Amino acid sequence: MNQIILHCDLDCFFAAVEARDNPKYKGFPIIIGADPKRGNGRGVVSTCSYEARSFGVHSAMPISQAYRLCPQGIFLRPKYFKYRSASNQVMTILKEYSEKFQQFGIDEAYLDISETCKDFTDGKFIADNIRERIRKEIRLTISIGVAPTISLAKIASDHKKPDATTVVLPSQVCDLFKNEDITRIPGIGKKTKFSYYRKGIKTIGDIYAISLEKMELLFGKNGKWAWNVVHGNDLREINGFYEKRKSISKERTFHVDTNNITLVLQEIENLNEKIHKKLHRNNYFYKTITLKIRFEGFITYTRSKTISSLMRNANYAMKIILNLFQEFYNFNKKVRLIGIKFSNLEKNVKKKQISLLNYLNQESGVIK
């Protein structure tokens, strides 16, 4: 029997929680993110309501641009404690429907309900029941895709937002999604899409219309992946899907572009300490450390260092970050943003921790 997978995605989650808790906001453009400071603010939009999207506002947009597009919007700073609480309530409900459950971020989750459904009609019934419960019990809306694969369920959940259930079988992909942009396919991002566009592949329908051999010839492994996704050949299972988080990162946008190196280094140290507290709390170790620096004019650089052994040590990580930062000491530009990312994560590593005596004659948290 085919898998029956649900992808459950809360609609404009942060903004929806704010509208739920403040009825006066309903129907108005809500924009969650940095303080816009009447168009002179720093930072970006975290998320926004559908009303705000109608003005062209979207997540990751500079907050100053969002203000110019929608000055009448309701601009709010994120209240993560409220969002985590609402997310936990939603996930508790979702877990009742299957033991094969995998949360992805704060507002998405996958369920494998194959063992409780005889067909996709049953799958739709369960999805509708979930949506009704979340609407009544938590007063939020959620969109759900029902499909035989993880990837198709993800594409389906985006198809009729907000507050909808979409069922799709591989034979229906072209009819339902032929006009959808290729970025709907997991694994094709905003940067990758341009290589597809240049070769005439812009929509899911375009991929559906050509052979696997041609897709591989044009785009290599990524093209093979995209072709298999739209043809329903993604055979991954929920167990373990996205079980390992890929990275943990934090960024800081300065209120005013600065050439004060001491201030920049202090902020790097603060970010490093905060991330390591989170790494320790969730028992993550890492191999790769990335420094991100954005100068005035939005000129952005990233530099990374991968070590041979897993580690979790703030002091040693700071030394690596400072080495990465040295390249930028002589840049004659002010700094707008600084960020740090730890990736190649492993969780609950059950190996003996050794000291960095083999490395730097100090305790490290490195694991061989």
- List, as one string, the DSSP characters of 103-115: EETTTEEEEE-GG
H/E segment holding residue 65: helix 63-69
Q: Looking at this protein, which amino acid is placed at residue 258?
A: T
The pLDDT of residue 167 is above 50: yes
Decide if 99 is catalytic. no
The pLDDT of residue 23 is above 80: yes
The pLDDT of residue 354 is above 50: no
In degrees rounded to 5, what are phi and psi of residue 258? Answer: -135, 145
Q: Quote the tokens at residue 19.
A: 């509208």
Mean pLDDT of 315-337: 92
What pLDDT does 207 receive? 95
Q: Are 181 and 202 in contact (CB under 8 A)?
A: yes
H/E segment holding residue 93: helix 80-95
What pLDDT does 245 receive? 67
Angle between helices 150-157 and 212-230 (to 10 degrees): 70
pLDDT digits (tens, 9 = 90+) for 245-294: 678 988 888 888 999 999 999 999 999 999 999 899 888 999 999 999 99
What pLDDT does 189 receive? 85
Mean pLDDT of 192-199: 92
Cite the residue boundaries of each domain of the chain with CATH code 3.30.1490.100. 247-358
Q: Are 104 and 110 in contact (CB under 8 A)?
A: yes
pLDDT digits (tens, 9 = 90+) for 71-109: 999 999 999 999 999 999 999 999 999 888 999 889 999
CATH superfamily of 1-168: Reverse transcriptase/Diguanylate cyclase domain (3.30.70.270)
Band (pLDDT 50/70/90 cuts) for residue 355 is very low
What pLDDT does 350 receive? 56
pLDDT digits (tens, 9 = 90+) for 168-184: 988 888 889 999 999 99
The pLDDT of residue 360 is above 50: no
How far apart are the C-alpha atoms of 66 and 79, rounded to whole Å? Answer: 19
Query: Considering 18, 51, 99, 108, which one is annotated as catalytic?
Result: 108
Cite the residue boundaries of each domain of the chain with CATH code 1.10.150.20. 170-235
The pLDDT of residue 223 is above 60: yes
pLDDT digits (tens, 9 = 90+) for 111-149: 999 888 888 999 999 999 999 999 999 999 999 999 999
Pairing of strands 165-167, 142-147: parallel
CATH T-level assignment (fold) for domain 247-358? Dna Ligase; domain 1 (3.30.1490)
Q: Which residues 6+ apart lie within 8 Å of 272 measured at CB?
A: 314, 317, 318, 321, 340
Name the more confident of 189 and 8.
8
What pLDDT does 187 receive? 82
User: What's 297-337 look like in SS3?
Assistant: HHEEEEEEEEEEEEECCHHHHHHHHHHHHHHHCCCCCCEEE
Cite the residue boundaries of each domain of the chain with CATH code 3.30.70.270. 1-168
How far apart are the C-alpha atoms of 196 and 43, rounded to whole Å? Answer: 30
How far apart are the C-alpha atoms of 96 and 172, rounded to whole Å? Answer: 29
Q: What is the mean pLDDT of the chain?
A: 89
* Among the four given CATH numbers 1.10.150.20, 3.40.50.720, 3.40.50.150, 1.25.40.10, the one describing domain 170-235: 1.10.150.20
**How far apart, in Å, are the Cα atoms of 31 and each of 78, 81, 321?**
10, 18, 33
How far apart are the C-alpha atoms of 325 and 302, rounded to whole Å? Answer: 10
Q: What number of other Cβ atoms are within 10 A of residue 161's Cβ?
A: 15
